[in-house]
Structure 1
């Protein structure tokens, strides 16, 4: 089976009072997951907005990744692939996975 998919991620950033907030939205075409991240500038640190953007955005995307993993884990269980805590039988297990 061969197929091609395109998923998009949009990251919106805002800054207010030394805090940068990010919302990352993963759109799979059939579902949307939204993750959030925040970065605070310490008073003793220089104000470098790009660093706050990067930290907040990475935290928002990490949140989306965790949500996506939860969805995949649930769907694996529903497909009869077993729990994520134990060995996962083929065809769902990665061929190079180690336990």
Structure 2
């Protein structure tokens, strides 16, 4: 089976008094996942707005990614393909074994 899909991601940013807030929305066509992220500039640091934008946006997208992974894990369990209980191995890591 061949399929092609396109999911839309929208990231909105706002900054006020050294705090940047981001909202990431993933629209799959059948559902929307909304993630949030915040970045605060340390008063002793130079205020570089783009850094706050990048941190807040990445945190919002990480929130969406966690929600998407949770949904996938649930669907895997529903069809009997995932672990019923217990810890789940980290999805983004190098193997602990050595060659």
- For Structure 1 versus Structure 2, the TM-score category normalised by the shorter chain is 0.7 to 0.9
Distance apart, 1:59 and its partner CA:
0.2
C-alpha displacement at 1:82, in angstroms?
A: 2.9
Shift of 1:60: 0.2
Residues 1:74 and 2:74 aligned together: yes
Partner SS for 1:80: coil
Q: 2:33 maps to which residue?
A: 33
Which ranges of structure 2 fall in alignment gaps of 5 or more residues?
Answer: 89-96
Which residues in structure 2 correspond to 1:51-90 (within 5 Å)? 51-83=51-83, 85=86
Give the SS at the match of 2:46: coil
Matches within 5 A, 1:17-32: 17-32=17-32
User: What TM-score comes out, normalization by structure 1 length?
Assistant: 0.84
SS of the residue 1:37 aligns to: strand
Q: Matched residue pairs, number?
A: 90
RMSD: 2.2
Match of 2:16 in 1: 16
Partner of 1:95: none
Query: After TM superposition, which residue ranges in structure 1, 4 or more long, deviate above 6 angstroms?
Result: none
Once residues 36 and 86 of structure 1 are traced to their aligned partners in structure 2, the CA distance between those partners, rounded to angstroms, is 25
Query: What are structure 1's unaligned runs of at least 5 residues?
Result: 88-98
